[in-house]
Amino acid sequence: MTKSSKKKFIIYGMYIFILCTFFSVLSSPNKVYAQNYAIVNATDVNIRSGPGTSYSIIGKLTAGNRISITGSQNDTSGHKWYSFLLSNKNAYIREDFVRVMQAYVLDQTFENELSNEGFPEDYKIFLRELHQSFPNWVFKAQKINMDFSQVVNEELSGTRTLVRSNAISSHKSTDLGKYDWNTSTWPSFDGASWVAASKEITEYYLDPRNFLNEVHIFQFEKQTYNSLIQTRAGLLQMVKGTFLDSYINAEGLSYNIADNNSNNIINNITNISPTPIIDQNQVGSIIIGGAPTGLSPYGERDNEITGYSSVVIGPGANITNSPNQIISPGVISQNVLSSDGNTFTYLPQGQYHYVDVILNACIQANINPYAFVSMIFQEQGKEGKSESITGTNKKFPGNYNYINIGAFAGSGYSAIENGLLYAATEGTFGRPWNTKEKAIYGAADYYSTGYVSKGQDTFYLKKWNVQGDNMFKHQYMTNVSGGASEGAILSQAYDDTVKSFSHEFKIPIYNNMPSTIVEYPTKDGSPNNKLKSLGVSGYILTPTFNMDTQEYSLIVPTNVSSVVVNATLLDKKAAIAGIGTISLQATLNKVHILVVAENKDQRYYTINITRQGYIGNMSEVDVGINTTNNNSNIISVPQVPIITNDIIVPTDIGSSTIIEGPPTNQNIINNIINNSSVSTNKGPGE
């Protein structure tokens, strides 16, 4: 046997061995699902063109983004870099900025649970990995009996879905009324900072499969209160270093609560012992649990709490025969419920940490206090300097609105002013909210009553209301990323120990979902690929030119062998090809004008030119893109950087793909897109 034959034999043998091993693993009762995904675990991570920091930065990814690993390579310092595809280009990320998803050893019980819930395979691949890391988590499928495309269209209706005005262009809509083609600008909605979201970014945030990772999964967590998971210590850690890590004054005022919440509290007042000694003649509250016997749960702050009678007992202690006390084991402070069962007294008059006020309010409302804090951070940031909560607004001084209820621009008011108008108006949920304490209690009750108790009990459903009787219209925010952002904030509240507890996640599944997971749109630059004018010198087109009309007709005399096509761009950042002197055949000529936007989107305009009275074969001739080497054939467009092969092209046009367009010479298209390889499909259009 020759050396070459031996080498081939060894290679074939290894190949057969690998195949046999692979199939034996698949057939094993403990088969392993190999994963080639990784999750980004840091914010704004640089993505590079090669394996090392000396290579150029070609993009950024943030925590929770998922990549599909295609390989790995070490740099000169020994750091491993994973390769993956980013916008169809090879990209690299260093290993310490990602967590590679674990291989999953078959858990048949869990597999049965996933199948019984009806999760598709493209959900299962991510839920398996989460189960491997967090075996106590419970995943419930929420079947949405609507096509995914129908939901997308509903959410794009009107101004239901917005993005910040400084977002990249592919995140912003170019639909009618949501983009001004004449000025290449986006009109504002709900204040100057928000514009309409694009279909692409809306699809991305609506697709639950994009968020089945340990960061963003929490937008699907059910938001009822759980004393075993949500604790004062956890809240303190969550707010550390933020404006909520401070003290506020409590007035000790009464607050009317919804029946469902008061019943929840009353139902907890059973089988409670031993009975503490209480002076019923004194007005005040009972402080229960959260500290060793005889020790104040407020520590050094307790001496600042005045005007009430308190009893402090040990953790896990209960109270009996006291129908006016509210009990919730493990919570630091509880207060008096009135005899009518509908009035809840605030924390007694004194100074309290924000955490105690928030925890008390959320227990009363039966909502997750971590989720509530996530909402506050989403709306107010972590510095808390907005006039929504400082009490310094000139039109509505001394009023507060922590989660921006009713905060939208309109009726002559800014979004903040409308939110404070709601807070200042006497009405439901303990308004006016003229103290921070009242605003927190009222907001918790509002969210519980209006959303959680109505089935919108996850951040996802709070943003995308795809259930209930008022679908699409009863949505808390217009921010397209609101649910995912709040979920990411919420995930930070849980340390590794708490994450290991049982958490229940309700994950939507739509009919006819896209066959592949929707990708995050990354394209930027002006999308304007329309013409301001189009004509043929000495002739009139039919119909009259309109920027949105892409096909025109023209009849010229028989003796006309060429025409001059001229056009101007709406956007000076775009490029144009196909104008200038066009030679005509003795037949029907289809002349194509290509406009390439700054973001590389292409649009074709077509002029069908017929030579009048021609007798002969009237078969159609596709003239294609004009590429004569005489520069005089190209009508000059102001401020367009260069001319390449008579095709006017911005210097940074980059590579691209022509989604649709007329048949044309591939080399011509390469010249238009800076000699980059592109593909083209027949048929004019966008």
DSSP string, 231-262: -HHHHHHHHTTSTTSSEEEE---EEE--HHHH
Q: How far is CA 90 from the centre of its chain?
A: 25
Q: Which amino acid is at 616?
A: G
pLDDT of 619 reads 54
Is residue 303 predicted with pLDDT exceeding 70?
Answer: no
pLDDT of 344 reads 45
Rounded Cα distance, 459 and 377, in Å: 14
pLDDT of 501 reads 84
pLDDT of 270 reads 30
Average pLDDT over residues 136-164: 95
pLDDT of 104 reads 75
Rounded Cα distance, 59 and 45, in Å: 8
Packing angle between helix 482-493 and helix 232-239, nearest 10 degrees? 120
pLDDT tens column, 460-490: 999 999 987 788 888 888 999 999 998 988 8
Average pLDDT over residues 506-511: 97
- The answer to whether 241 and 381 have CB atoms below 8 angstroms apart is no
pLDDT of 146 reads 95
Q: In this predicted model, which residue has the larger pLDDT, 385 or 227?
A: 385
Scanning the structure block, which residue is given the tokens 């069908």? Answer: 608
Is residue 31 predicted with pLDDT exceeding 90?
Answer: no
Residue 447: strand pairing partners: none
Is residue 413 predicted with pLDDT exceeding 50?
Answer: yes
Lowest mean pLDDT among 9-13, 419-423, 565-569, 589-593: 9-13
Is residue 10 predicted with pLDDT exceeding 70?
Answer: no
DSSP state, residue 101: P
DSSP state, residue 102: P
Nearest alpha-carbon partner for 234 in 123, 132, 359:
359
What is the length of the chain? Answer: 686
pLDDT of 256 reads 46
- For the chain, the average pLDDT equals 75
Is residue 387 predicted with pLDDT exceeding 80?
Answer: yes
Is residue 394 predicted with pLDDT exceeding 60?
Answer: yes
pLDDT tens column, 427-457: 999 899 999 999 999 999 999 998 998 899 9
pLDDT tens column, 529-572: 999 999 999 999 999 999 999 999 999 998 899 999 999 999 99
Residue 105's pLDDT band, with cuts at 50, 70 and 90, is confident
pLDDT of 621 reads 60
pLDDT tens column, 48-72: 999 999 999 888 887 767 788 899 9
Residue 278 exposed, middle or buried by CB count within 10 Å (0-12, 13-18, 19+): middle
Q: In this predicted model, which residue has the larger pLDDT, 496 or 74?
A: 74
**Residue 668 backbone dihedrals phi, psi, to 5 degrees:** -65, -45
pLDDT of 498 reads 80
- The C-alpha torsion from 229 through 234 and 238 to 239, rounded to 10°, is 130
C-alpha distances in Å from residue 526, one per residue of 170, 479, 572, 686: 9, 22, 10, 16
pTM as predicted: 0.68
pLDDT of 183 reads 95
Residue 347's pLDDT band, with cuts at 50, 70 and 90, is low
- The answer to whether 362 and 234 have CB atoms below 8 angstroms apart is no
Contacts of 356 (CB under 8 A, 6+ apart): 232, 298, 332, 333, 347
